[in-house]
Amino acid sequence: MNYQETIDYIFSALPMFHRVGPAAYKPNLDNTLALAGAIGNPEKNLRCIHIAGTNGKGSTSHMLASVLQEAGFRTGLYTSPHLKDFRERIRVNGEMVSEEWVAHFVTGNKKIFDKISPSFLR
C-alpha cells in the first residue's frame, strides 16, 4: 500500500469512536497486550513516560520531549489527534515519521491489525 491507501485503510478498518460509537472503546488492555506481543514487545526495551489527565497532555508531552532532546536523549513522541497529517501523531526527535515508514509499518502488520482489530486508543 502507498501512504494514501494506508491512511484510507486506517480510517476505514480500525474502530474509531466517532464512527462506531462506544463499541470502539475497549475497557481493558487485551488488544494492547496482543498487539505489543505480536510485534515483539518493543515497549520492554524502551524507557517511557506516560502522560495522562484531562488537559495539557499534548503541550506537556511536546515540552518534555524538547527538554529531553536538548539534554541529548533520543525521543519518540505519540500524540493524538492530528490536525492535518496523520504523521503529526508520531515523531522521532521532533520530526514526523515519513510517509514510507507509516505505509511500511501498517502494510507489514496489516494481518495482525485485521485479527486484533485495535482502535487508535487500544
DSSP collapsed to 3 states, 9-24: HHHHHCCCHHHHHHHH
Cβ–Cβ under 8 Å, residues 26 and 119: yes
Of 2-6, 10-14, 99-103, give the lowest mean pLDDT range: 10-14
Q: Which pLDDT score is estimated for 54?
A: 86
What's the fold here for domain 3-116?
UDP-N-acetylmuramoyl-L-alanine:D-glutamate ligase (3.40.1190)
What are the residue ranges spanned by the domains of the chain? 3-116
Answer yes or no: is pLDDT of 13 > 80. Answer: no
pTM of the predicted protein model: 0.83
Cβ–Cβ under 8 Å, residues 14 and 118: yes
